[in-house]
Amino acid sequence: MTIASAGERPAAVAWGGEPDGAAPGWELETIVAELRLSREVTHNIRHRGRIRQTPSREALTGILDGLSAALFPTHYSGEALEAGAIDGFVGRTLDTALAALVDQVRRDLAFTREGEPGEAERGREAQRIVGTFARRLPDIRGLIVSDLRAAFRGDPAATNLPEILLGYPGMAAIIAYRLAHALHGLGASLLARLISDIAHSRTGIDIHPGAEIGASFFIDHGTGVVIGETAVIGERVRLYQAVTLGARHFPADAEGNLIKAAPRHPIVEDDVVIYAGATVLGRITIGRGSTIGGNVWLTRSVPPGSQVTQAQARNDGKAE
């Protein structure tokens, strides 16, 4: 195929004729040729200049659902499982989900690994990553159960644990985050971002998989919560809807390019509660046991035990 140079209008290319029902006025052959010029020359965005098979959101959605069902089979399987059948279901479901995950990780590595690893090398590395991830699933489930119990303790409206697993968007977002965070740490960063975005689409909660979040984490209601990549959250932290743990400044290098992954999001210590609509920005620290009131805009650190409202920070008596 000959590609026209930048600025040169491509000639119409015969590619099999107009599709059935196409309007003659569309000039599809010319449009296809112009799109090829944009794709190949004038607006080429291909990663390192090569065509690569991208991860599939559809496949990842199925993998996320399969892993969730393997972790909580009587809640997410959709089947009436007897006690003696649970292990068989978990084994079959994991086998399917993990095999599919290997293929998606292999695709991920084509975008995220330097040095252009070959197909065989990517396949071996994908198997290694997924094997390590699979062995961590019992520990991941333990963390999720701590989050589940924190939700039950923290919400007087919760009547039982199944209600939270099946009906709370915050719980669905946390399950996806725990799985995505593990993959992110193992090097499948593109997959982790896509899993997080699937959860965001489902729940309205946006948690970057690079964030560090301790056990017994609870997001109540949840819509509009945003947690940035370098946020660090301790144990037994509770967030309400529309809370943002974001960046205030974006550090750049001498050429003005943003420095990727620089610490720029808040550190939230253990036993902190942040109420609805609060915006906490920058690499600041919210001290242990503090309470941040609704709609607060906070850009400075506060010591342990602080109570910050729109009117004042009552820990030291000074106006906020």
- Which residue type sits at 274? I
Q: What is the pLDDT of residues 146-198, one digit of tens each?
A: 999 999 999 999 999 999 999 999 999 999 999 999 999 999 999 999 999 99
Q: Which residues of the chain have pLDDT under 70?
A: 1-24, 47-49, 51, 114-117, 311-320
pLDDT of residue 6: 46
pLDDT of residue 232: 98
| DSSP state at residue 38 | I
pLDDT of residue 51: 65
- Which residue type sits at 228? G
Query: Which sign does the torsion angle of CA 168, 174, 179, 180 carry?
Result: positive
Environment class of residue 170 by beta-carbon count within 10 Å: exposed (0-12), middle (13-18) or buried (19+)? Answer: buried
Q: What is the pLDDT of residues 200-210, one digit of tens each?
A: 999 999 999 99
Environment class of residue 158 by beta-carbon count within 10 Å: exposed (0-12), middle (13-18) or buried (19+)? Answer: middle
Classified as helix, coil or strand, 76 is helix
Angstrom distances, CA of residue 156 to CA of 79, 159, 205, 214, 220? 30, 8, 21, 22, 11
Domains defined for the chain, CATH in brackets: 1-45 (no CATH), 53-205 (1.10.3130.10), 224-320 (2.160.10.10)
- Which residue type sits at 249? H
Beta carbons of 240 and 220 less than 8 angstroms apart? yes
Give 281's strand partners. Answer: 246
Beta carbons of 87 and 95 less than 8 angstroms apart? no
Neighbours of 89 (CB within 10 A): 17
| DSSP state at residue 282 | S
Relative to beta strand 318-319, strand 312-313 is antiparallel
pLDDT of residue 4: 47
- Tokens linked to 104: 């998606």
